[in-house]
Amino acid sequence: MHFRYENVCIETIHAGLPDEIVTSDEIETRLAPLYRRLRLPEGRLEMMSGIRQRRFWPRGVLPGEMSARTGERAIRESGVDRGEIGALIHGSVCRDYLEPATAAGVHHVLGLPSECLLYDVSNACLGLLDGMVQAANMIEMGQIRAGLVVGTEDSRALVETTIAKLNADESLTRNDIKSAFASLTIGSASAAILLVHRELSRGGHRLLGGVAAAATEHCELCRGGQGAAGDDGGLLMDTDSEMLMKQGVAAATTTFERFCRHLGWTPSDIDKTFCHQVGRAHRKLLLDALGLRPEIDYTTLEWLGNTGSVALPVTAALGIENGFVRPGDRVAMLGIGSGINVVMVGVEAGEGLGIRD
**Distance separating alpha carbons of residues 338 and 282, to the nearest angstrom:** 14
Give the model's pLDDT for residue 229. 43
Reported for 18-21, long-range contacts at CB under 8 A and 24+ positions apart, including other chains, are: 18/55, 18/56, 18/57, 18/58, 18/188, 18/189, 19/55, 20/55, 20/56, 20/57, 20/58, 21/53, 21/54, 21/55
99 noted as active-site residue: yes
Angle between helices 127-140 and 311-321 (to 10 degrees): 70
**Distance separating alpha carbons of residues 145 and 66, to the nearest angstrom:** 25
| pTM of the predicted structure, to 2 decimals | 0.94
Other beta carbons less than 10 A from residue 351's beta carbon: 11
- Which of 94, 116, 125, 222 is catalytic? The answer is 125
Give the model's pLDDT for residue 225. 78
Instruction: State the Rg of the chain over Cα.
Output: 20
Regarding the domain delimited by 206-356, which CATH topology (the fold level of the hierarchy) does it fall under? Peroxisomal Thiolase; Chain A, domain 1 (3.40.47)
Q: What are the two backbone dihedrals, phi and then psi, of residue 33, each rounded to the nearest 5 degrees?
A: -60, -40
Give the model's pLDDT for residue 233. 52
| Parallel/antiparallel/unpaired status of strands 117-120 and 85-90 | parallel
Give the model's pLDDT for residue 119. 98
Closest to 13 (Cα-Cα) out of 298, 318, 336: 318
Cβ atoms of 327 and 353 closer than 8 Å: no
First vs last C-alpha separation in the chain? 35
Closest to 7 (Cα-Cα) out of 119, 144, 117: 144
Segment holding 22, helix H or strand E: strand 20-23
**Distance separating alpha carbons of residues 91 and 103, to the nearest angstrom:** 9
Other beta carbons less than 10 A from residue 316's beta carbon: 28
Q: What are the two backbone dihedrals, phi and then psi, of residue 188, each rounded to the nearest 5 degrees?
A: -115, 145
**267 preceded by a cis bond (ω within 30 of 0):** no
> DSSP string covering 120-169, please?
E--BTBTHHHHHHHHHHHHHHTTS-SEEEEEEEE--HHHHHHHHHHHHH-
Q: Which amino acid is at 305?
A: G
Give per-residue burial for 185-222: e unless 16+ CB within 10 Å, then b. Answer: bbbbbbbbbbbbbbebbebebbbbbbbbbebeebeebb
C-alpha dist (Å) from residue 107 to 100, 134, 311: 12, 17, 23
- Which of 99, 115, 199, 217 is catalytic? The answer is 99
Give the model's pLDDT for residue 315. 98
Give the model's pLDDT for residue 230. 45
- What are the residue boundaries of the structural domains of the chain, listed by start? 206-356
125 noted as active-site residue: yes
Other beta carbons less than 10 A from residue 269's beta carbon: 12
Mean pLDDT of successive 10-residue stretches along the chain, which has 357 residues: 96 97 97 95 94 97 98 96 97 96 98 98 96 98 98 96 95 91 95 97 95 94 66 71 91 97 97 96 96 98 97 97 95 96 96 55
